[in-house]
Structure 1
Amino acid sequence: MSSSVHRITVREMNEIKCRRQLAVMNRLFKQWQKLSQQGNYNEKRISQLNTIYTKIERDALEIAKQTSRHLVQLNKDVKEFTVVLMEEMRDVREKRLDQQALNARTEIYRQRNYIELIALLRQQLPTETDLISALEQASSLSVEQMNLLVFRALSVLEINSTQPTDVEKQLLSELKAQSEEVKQFWHSGAPQSPFSLQCEQIALMIEKLKQIGTTQEVQSSEQQLNLIQAMEQSSKRHLRADSLLLTMASQLRESQQKIELVDRIEQLIDELAIFENADRTVIEDALKLMNSGTLIQYTQMIEKLEVIIEQAEQKIIAQAQRKTVLDGLSQLGYQVNDNAVKSWLDDGKVVVTHPSTPGYGLELGGTQTRFQTRTVAFSADRDINRDKDVDAIWCSQHQQLQEIISTSDGELVVERALAAGSGEMKVYENQNEQNQSHNKVLYNRPRTMSK
């Protein structure tokens, strides 16, 4: 063949992808460990994920010595485990956010009920000074101890109190549910109105905003809730409550997005750090932004980091690919200069020669995964009948080159090629066959590439 387009894969491609994925996985696993240590986590599930992580960690110990086939499998395992960790943490965070909001509302109702219970005891049973005093000092007690104290107070009231009012009935009903550890004990009394349910939903969302939103959002929502509750009963009041719910839902989604984007930035910083010449300035800028950025700024930083990582990866891969090809040609007897890899990377092409075909050379060009090879001549004044023979020789050598590259755990594939002797051969001015990468082109009629 006289000219051909090749695609080459080298093991470094798989190794870099593995190192990047491992950097992401390690960060996620550490974050998951912190979540799992905060209590109420399934011990069996903890054991399962720890076992998977330990196996992957063991498989990755000698990553520099592993074959491409093993690296592909390792990368697959790491990706799958990373997805599992991300879904696991997202689920845990959502559940804990809901639980934290519920706990906060529960505590608010609990404290209100303690105050009202003490007032009721003072009004109906002022002689129960020990019980009243115990309730006043109950803040240091555990939930179980408080429930026992509430149950004791309820028993005393039921025995000694007169017919309770509707308000007192509601309080007693809530206290009874509270002492029995009903999840939302304040719903245990008389049915709540649609508006009161709206207000409770807003209050729960405010508690969530306190966890992941901004102080300004929390204060604004609390003020609006107070204004709505102060309005007279009307359809307008319900509409205002619905509008506030929608606004807060949007704020919570944006806050959650920020958390996920910050997680992504942290992961990309870890990926960038695997490259020896990583730009520390970009990493420092990303770390600063994480504390106070907007959604747009986070997105822009993610795009910037991804581009930088891709460029760093491609630089290493391009060098490995070109070195693999040139090393293979050297084994075939081609005269390859020490700076051939650099010349190819810098100039986008390089020309190498073979002693068996004086007056001719092989040009390799391209800066991506795909590259082109073609036979070239060093003189326009030559016996052009030899061109086809030189093309045929290169065709035979190419098959040998494929075999050499396969032994180094790589693969060379021909995507398109021209038959030997097709078209005019590119000609270089023959100044120095040992350094053809810097010679001037005298004649070059483009050859039409066929698939």
Structure 2
Amino acid sequence: MSGPKVVRIVTREEIMAICENLFRQLDQSIATWTSEGQRMEELSDAEIASTLLRRKELGDLLTRDAFADLQKNVPDEMAFLHADLERRRQHSVEKLVQARKRRRQGQINASTLIGTLESRGVVVPAELRALASGEEVIDTDAVLAQGLAMLTPKANGLTSAQQEHAKRLMIEVPEIDAWKAVTIENPRIERIDHQIAELQSLLGAEQTAALNERLRTIETMPFDAHQQLQLDSMIIDLAATLKEMRAQRAVPAEVTPVATEERFAEARRKAILNGLAQLGYEVHEGMETAWANDGQIVAKKPSLPGYGVEIGGQARTGRIQVRTVAVTADRDTRRDKDVETLWCGDFSRLQELLAEQGDNLVIERALGVGTVPLKLSLDTRTAESLESNCRTFP
């Protein structure tokens, strides 16, 4: 394809800026992954060390100018860290939900045990009363096992080993039929448990303490329409808070400053014009400015009188149109195809010259030789050229 082309140029300066930007994003991803994972107690030192080693290996790609590998592997690493953190967060949330369920079941079991102990005139331990009231205790199972053991007289024939086994497994022992306390399942409370657990995974236990207290207060209310209304209200409040927290944690895409975009555009124009100059095209002072102002220029080659190469398009986008044009209407049109073919060789050489400098020039779209008639450049100052200038090639 040697006819009109749409090409994209990315200079070495721009490639370096892209890579540096990717590393900034990667370092932020690693910092978030590390801090969040450690706060949730879901991350080991060995895992952190492994991630930092991968970061160093990715950094080595930049020193070797392995830009293509870098631009593929760094986003892959960020995607992995994001997915891994979400997996760890879900695991943390599930653990927190299960802990909340165990604590609620423990509270019900503690209330059952207290009733049995009091009916027998046994002094109820303070830890058991605290558990029954919904307070946080260090080891729920140990507190329940203590109360369970107080209902098991030695005369029953249970050995110390058997009693210890009962403490570990929390199994039913003789004379305690009431131990089979049934938890009343409430889908609203289960949903709130998940919401609070997710917030705790994002913010920490201290920031969710007030929410736990609010839920405990609601749970002490009679099981009626008012309690359900309070639970619904809490679900709505938690959903709004979670939505806000997720939005705050979303990483916004970096926007390239206008000044930087213009610097990149200038570098692209310079790269193209310098390359054409090395290929023998006439490149004069002011052509870069004319390109920026007018949107296109024509570079002529003394060895091909009557013809030139038109470069057009906004360099700020990186996409440029290039095509062979005629600069005079008084020419042998039978040469047009030959000139387009010669430009094919020049274009390939231009790609090589730019590549040697670390720039990348790729064809995004191209037409074949002779597919469309050569455009007559504005240099002829004819009405025909003015009309053709308003059209881009199909």
Which TM-score tier does this pair reach, normalised by the shorter chain? 0.5 to 0.7
SS at match of 1:196: coil
Q: Distance in 1 between matches of 2:372 and 2:117?
A: 108
1:327 is displaced (CA, Å) by: 1.7
Q: Distance in 1 between matches of 2:126 and 2:351?
A: 89
Partner of 2:37: 36
Cα-to-partner distance string for 1:49-70 (whole Å, 9 max, x where unaligned): 632442333432573x544xx2
Q: Letter of the aligned partner of 1:86 in structure 2?
A: H
Q: Distance in 2 between matches of 1:59 and 1:450?
A: 42
Partner of 1:192: 182
Q: Letter of the aligned partner of 2:249 in structure 1?
A: D
1:47 aligns with 2:43: no
1:328 is displaced (CA, Å) by: 0.8
1:403 to 344, 352, 356: 352
Partner of 2:376: 425
Partner of 2:298: 351
Q: Give the 5 Å matches for 1:29-428.
A: 29-38=30-39, 40-41=41-42, 43=44, 47-48=46-47, 50-60=49-59, 63=62, 66-67=64-65, 70-104=66-100, 106-107=102-103, 124-125=120-121, 132=125, 143-144=138-139, 151-159=145-153, 180=168, 189-190=179-180, 192=182, 196-198=185-187, 201-202=190-191, 204-205=193-194, 207-208=196-197, 211=200, 229-230=223-224, 248=235, 258-264=244-250, 266-268=251-253, 271-272=254-255, 275=256, 277=257, 318-357=265-304, 361-367=308-314, 368-376=317-325, 382=330, 388=336, 394-409=343-358, 410-413=360-363, 415-419=366-370, 422-423=373-374, 425-428=376-379
Is the deviation greater in 440-449 or in 13-22?
A: 440-449
Does the CA-based 8 Å contact 1:10-1:320 persist in structure 2? no
Distance 1:441 1:3, change over 3 A: farther
Q: Letter of the aligned partner of 1:29 in structure 2?
A: I
Does the CA-based 8 Å contact 1:14-1:71 persist in structure 2? yes
Cα-to-partner distance string for 1:345-369 (whole Å, 9 max, x where unaligned): 4432123333445665432112254
Q: Distance in 2 between matches of 1:137 and 1:217?
A: 19
1:259 is displaced (CA, Å) by: 4.0
Q: Kindly, what percent of the aligned residue pairs are identical?
A: 18
Partner of 2:8: 8
1:325 is displaced (CA, Å) by: 1.8
Is the deviation greater in 79-88 or in 107-116?
A: 107-116
Q: Distance in 2 between matches of 1:85 and 1:41?
A: 13
| 5+ long unaligned stretches in structure 1 | 162-175, 183-187, 280-311, 430-439
SS at match of 2:299: strand
Distance 1:345 1:120, change over 3 A: farther
How many residues of Structure 1 are paired with residues of Structure 2 in the alignment? Answer: 364
The two structures have a TM-score, normalised by structure 1, of 0.59
SS at match of 2:89: helix
Distance 1:396 1:38, change over 3 A: closer
The two structures have a TM-score, normalised by structure 2, of 0.66
Cα-to-partner distance string for 1:374-406 (whole Å, 9 max, x where unaligned): 4455566x5557974765654543343233233
Distance 1:56 1:42, change over 3 A: closer
Distance 1:261 1:364, change over 3 A: same
Distance 1:345 1:178, change over 3 A: farther
1:25 aligns with 2:31: no
Cα-to-partner distance string for 1:49-100 (whole Å, 9 max, x where unaligned): 632442333432573x544xx2221222222222221111112222223333
1:225 is displaced (CA, Å) by: 6.9
Q: Distance in 2 between matches of 1:219 and 1:226?
A: 11
Q: Letter of the aligned partner of 1:157 in structure 2?
A: L
Q: Distance in 1 between matches of 2:57 and 2:281?
A: 42
Q: Distance in 2 between matches of 1:191 and 1:137?
A: 18
Is the deviation greater in 360-369 or in 10-19?
A: 10-19
Distance 1:54 1:278, change over 3 A: farther
Distance 1:112 1:421, change over 3 A: closer
Q: Letter of the aligned partner of 1:353 in structure 2?
A: K
Q: Distance in 2 between matches of 1:209 and 1:181?
A: 29
Q: Distance in 1 between matches of 2:181 and 2:113?
A: 21
RMSD, aligned CA = 5.3
Does the CA-based 8 Å contact 1:6-1:415 persist in structure 2? yes
| 5+ long unaligned stretches in structure 2 | 156-163, 171-177
Q: Letter of the aligned partner of 1:96 in structure 2?
A: S
1:197 is displaced (CA, Å) by: 4.8
1:333 is displaced (CA, Å) by: 2.5
Distance 1:223 1:341, change over 3 A: farther
Is the deviation greater in 315-324 or in 344-353?
A: 315-324
Q: Distance in 1 between matches of 2:57 and 2:195?
A: 45
Is the deviation greater in 391-400 or in 215-224?
A: 215-224
Does the CA-based 8 Å contact 2:4-2:321 persist in structure 1? yes
